[in-house]
Structure 1
């Protein structure tokens, strides 16, 4: 699906996604899991299944100090146990779990509103 173009070009935004990957405005198509925020280029993330997530993954994400984390858990929405995400809530960082398509759309909306969101997308 192609997403509506967002005018603010200073941020990392998604222009298209499929069940197998995500295309950013720079034209690069990512087919492996990644982390991205408005100021940070996508960085590969070693997670390829939501049930492989550990506390260490969320500790790593918390170091970027986002306002909210949008966790795309694959083509199906899965919820993560609060024991794993406790570090985020302890630092007043919100977390929302959703399928990847919803996560991409939500991330773009938050970024267009200048919210410091981090997209953690699991592609398997």
Structure 2
């Protein structure tokens, strides 16, 4: 399905999707991908919905583990994942042909950092991403190709 006829070449835009492919800026990908409005398109090492974990979502959102610093308590900090300054406001997850909701144990770490996580069908995620991206929002999307996603 063609999503839009015009796109800003400076921004990553979902231009089409179909069975077993996702098209970004008129380049076709036959595997799961994740990306932000600017920057590279990354291969997402997730093949079906059941492969999604808290770790795969942290990767997509750009969250990295920080080694324990025994003196961090002096500055009010600690160890564990830290939200980078350029972290997305929202992470959209396209779960394939059908919407599948993610368990709280998987989304909780990002939600605790103030990053919204929304799971929806890939079609809905692609459309929502394009709208939020066009509004200038800090959004990241991870899309599974249209296929059965059990």
TM-score with structure 2 setting the length: 0.76
User: Which one of the candidate residues 115, 119, 143 is aligned to 1:93?
Assistant: 115
User: What SS does structure 1 have at the residue aligned with 2:124?
Assistant: helix
When residues 115 and 5 of structure 1 are mapped into structure 2, their CA distance, relative to the original with a 3 A threshold, is farther
Corresponding residue pairs, total: 123
Determine which structure has more spread, i.e. the larger CA radius of gyration: 2
State the partner residue of 1:44. 43
**In structure 1, C-alpha distance between the alignment counterparts of 2:7 and 2:96, rounded to whole Å:** 27
Contact 2:32 / 2:143 at 8 angstroms: preserved in 1?
yes
RMSD: 1.5
Paired residues for 1:4-43 under 5 Å: 4-25=4-25, 27-43=26-42
**In structure 1, C-alpha distance between the alignment counterparts of 2:61 and 2:140, rounded to whole Å:** 10
1:50-101 CA distances to partner (integer Å, 9 max, x unpaired)? 1111221122123261110110001110000011111110111111111111
**In structure 2, C-alpha distance between the alignment counterparts of 1:71 and 1:12, rounded to whole Å:** 16
Contact 2:61 / 2:140 at 8 angstroms: preserved in 1?
no
Unaligned runs of 5+ in 2: 64-86
**In structure 1, C-alpha distance between the alignment counterparts of 2:28 and 2:23, rounded to whole Å:** 4
TM-score with structure 1 setting the length: 0.91
